[in-house]
Amino acid sequence: MALEDAKSQVDTAFTRAQQRGYSFENAFGGATSFLRRSYTKDLTGVDLAITGVPFDQAVTHRTGTRFGPRAIREASTLQPYDPPYGWPTNPLDELNIIDYGDVAFDYAKVSDFPETLTAHIRKILSAGAGSITLGGDHYITFPILRAYAEKFGPLGVIHFDAHSDLWPDDDLSRIDHGTMMYKAVKQGYVDPKRSVQIGIRTTTEDYLGVHVIDAREVHEKGVAHAVELAKSIVGDKPTYVTFDIDALDPAYAPGTGTPVWGGLHSWQAAAALRDLAGINMVGGDVVEVSPPYDTTGATAIAGAHVAYELICLYHWARTQR
């Protein structure tokens, strides 16, 4: 059946008859929506909207993450043929998932961007759907968290990263990917007592009460230790998962703006995300994929896998908890 479908399916981002089910379209052709889901702005009956934020004007070093959403979508064309490996359920068959496209914004009016993005996510949430966002630099998580906090109150956050993004900065007019978590905590969007950062390997003087499981602790004590601790920290309340691709070691994800050695291995990230099943995950993002710095495409492939695992976590929270 799959072979016959592959002979006839093309551009299923626009031609698929329903939101659920696999796509067997050739990976090397056709319109590259995420996982070949329907491109649509119609949120009626949607469980989960995948959306892109091609914004990189908040970086401290190398730009290029504006091309991240497009590259992640292209990499995801290898994945919509089969159920997700390691999961007993299949969100592609059991959830109405769409590709909501990218947020529209004026690149020359950077100061307008935060509210534009918050409104974009607010619209998805008000329709009763969740969101998985493809970045973009890590600043984008701050406006997203504002929309989520409006609906759910202060959130627990599981934050995979090499950097804490807790640089002190009380000027809300500054747009900086290294301060997004600081501002989210200070603005009350994030409950630091229910938040944990995994993979950290840069210095931060004050973590503002956020728990830290650095990369060395993951390497030495294992993924199971990190996951058990993370689950105990976030508990059963609404939790947001943000995954900076530089949580991975540059050997696995060289295409990022601020790479740091000593990071997580791909298998560690995959195992951690799968074993987080059971958290009350209400949304998530994968950020900092910068295709210009990786001619192999490996970083975008990693980003696509992370996004699929986030979909699985969201699905599990809706159906199995």
Annotated binding residues for Mn(2+), written as ranges, equal 138, 161, 163, 165, 244, 246
In the structure encoding, which two tokens stand for residue 177, read together? 């990917």
237, 215, 243: which is closest to 158 by C-alpha? Answer: 243
HSE-CB at 237 with a 13 A cutoff on CA atoms is: 16
Q: Determine contact, residues 88/95, Cβ cutoff 8 Å.
A: no
In this structure, are residues 254 and 289 in contact, taking their beta carbons and an 8 Å threshold? no
Neighbours of 268 (CB within 10 A): 22
Please give the C-alpha separations between residue 230 and each of 14, 286, 307, in angstroms, as whole numbers: 39, 18, 19
User: Hey, which residues does 133 pair with through a beta bridge?
Assistant: 51, 285
**Binding site residues, as ranges?**
138, 161, 163, 165, 244, 246
Tokens of 100: 């909501």
Nearest to 259 by CA among 177, 162, 166, 181: 162
**Residues contacting residue 117 through CB under 8 Å, at least 6 positions apart:** 53, 55, 103, 105, 140, 143, 144
Q: Show the beta-strand stretches assigned E in 14-138.
A: 48-53, 97-102, 130-135
